[in-house]
Structure 1
Amino acid sequence: MAVLEHVNVTVSDPKATAVWLGAVFDWKVRWEGDAMSGGYTAHVGDETSYVALYTPNQDMNKPQHSYTTRAGLNHVGVLVDDIEATEKRVAAAGFTPHNHADYEPGKRFYFDDHDGVEWEVISYD
């Protein structure tokens, strides 16, 4: 069996992103430190999986629309136990939930963070 262990996303400020990910999803910083090419990385998640938040030591271009960019990251899906409570934490973190849906087998909504990364929150009731 194969299990997804992590995904690596380039962000403007790994430390700030780690803070709101912790507040919204109750994740912890597993590791942080210097990264390739003089950049910085923070690994945020639980004991089995995480999101690696990377920033290079250089100016970054404006984000492109992921759904029309080859190899673009379209969204990150996070499974939660209590979708309503998570949505309140998303809003408290300053993000706007959108595209709500009840579908078989559960519920979902999306939000975009300050770096333009789209997050999908899912709950299977």
Structure 2
Amino acid sequence: MQAALEHTNLTVTDPEATARWMAQVFGWHIRWQGSAIHGGRSIHIGGDDSYLALYRPSQAPRPAAARSYDTIGGLNHLAVTVADLDATEAKVREAGFQTHSHADYEPGRRFYFHDADGVEYEVVSYA
């Protein structure tokens, strides 16, 4: 059996707000939510086979000190595949985010955006 990525745990300032826009934009659902390690709170949102764990520590999280691409172990972006790139881009904009870096090359079309916490997302369609 090939290994599969089950989840990624991401520190955010407001798990509820992040989960709301993710449900709106990507159609994901909350799989679990509750108390988490170190007195924090987590919301697991995604599909049936994988999810993002949105974690907020008990005290306000600190912003990253440097660009992720220059940091060992830095999170550069999260990529999400969708069937309809144009419809998803409209939802991203409706959620209040600006899209950028549009590209159309093999094997698919894509764009990027940053959320309120500065996390970069790549949205790609292979359709």
Q: TM-score range by the shorter chain?
A: over 0.9
Aligned partner (choices 103, 111, 114) of residue 112 of structure 1: 114
TM-score, normalising length from structure 2?
0.95
Aligned residue number for residue 45 of structure 1: 46
Contact 2:112–2:121 (Cα < 8 Å) also in 1: yes
Identity in percent: 55
Aligned residue number for residue 89 of structure 2: 87
Greater Cα offset, 7-16 or 53-62: 53-62
Q: Distance in 2 between matches of 1:24 and 1:58?
A: 28
Aligned residue number for residue 78 of structure 1: 80
**Corresponding pairs, count:** 125
The CA RMSD over aligned residues, in Å, is: 0.8
Q: Distance in 2 between matches of 1:9 and 1:97?
A: 21
TM-score, normalising length from structure 1?
0.97
Q: Which runs of 4+ in 1 moved over 2 A?
A: none
Q: Which runs of 5+ in 1 are unaligned?
A: none
C-alpha distance after superposition, 1:36-89 (max 9, x if no partner): 010000000011110110010013222332112221110000000000000000
Aligned residue number for residue 123 of structure 2: 121
Q: Distance in 2 between matches of 1:75 and 1:43?
A: 18
